[in-house]
Structure 1
Amino acid sequence: MTKIETFGFGVPWESLFGYSQALRAGDTLYVSGQLSHNAEGTFLGEGDFGLQMATTFANLDLVLEHYGATRAQVVETTILVRNLREHFGSLAPFHAQYFGEHRPTSTVMGVSDLALPEQLIEVGAVVRLDVATP
Structure 2
Amino acid sequence: MTVRSREFNFGMPWESLYGYSQAVQAGDTLYISGQLSHDSAGDFIGTGDFELQMRTTLDNLDRVLEHFGAGRDQIVETTVLVKGLRDHFDTAARLHAAYCGEHRPTSTVMGVSDLALPDQLVEIGAVVRLDVAH
* Cα distance in 2, alignment partners of residues 27 and 98 from structure 1: 22
* Large movers: runs of 4+ above 6 Å: none
Aligned to 1:61: 62
Query: For residues 1-134 of structure 1, what are the structure 2 equivalents within 5 Å?
Result: 1-133=2-134
Gaps of 5+ in 1: none
* Cα distance in 2, alignment partners of residues 125 and 22 from structure 1: 9
Q: Structure 1, residues 15-44: CA drift from partner, whole Å, max 9, x if none?
A: 000000000000000000000000111111
Q: Which amino acid aligns with 1:78?
A: T
TM-score normalised by length of structure 2: 0.98
State the Cα distance separating 1:88 from its structure 2 match: 0.4
SS, match of residue 90 in structure 1: helix
SS, match of residue 118 in structure 2: coil
Q: Which amino acid aligns with 1:127?
A: V
State the Cα distance separating 1:4 from its structure 2 match: 1.2
* Cα distance in 1, alignment partners of residues 79 and 100 from structure 2: 14
Q: Which amino acid aligns with 1:72?
A: D
- Aligned identity (percent) is 68
State the Cα distance separating 1:98 from its structure 2 match: 0.5
* Cα distance in 1, alignment partners of residues 112 and 19 from structure 2: 23
* Cα distance in 1, alignment partners of residues 39 and 52 from structure 2: 12
Number of residue pairs matched by the alignment? 133
State the Cα distance separating 1:93 from its structure 2 match: 1.1
Gaps of 5+ in 2: none
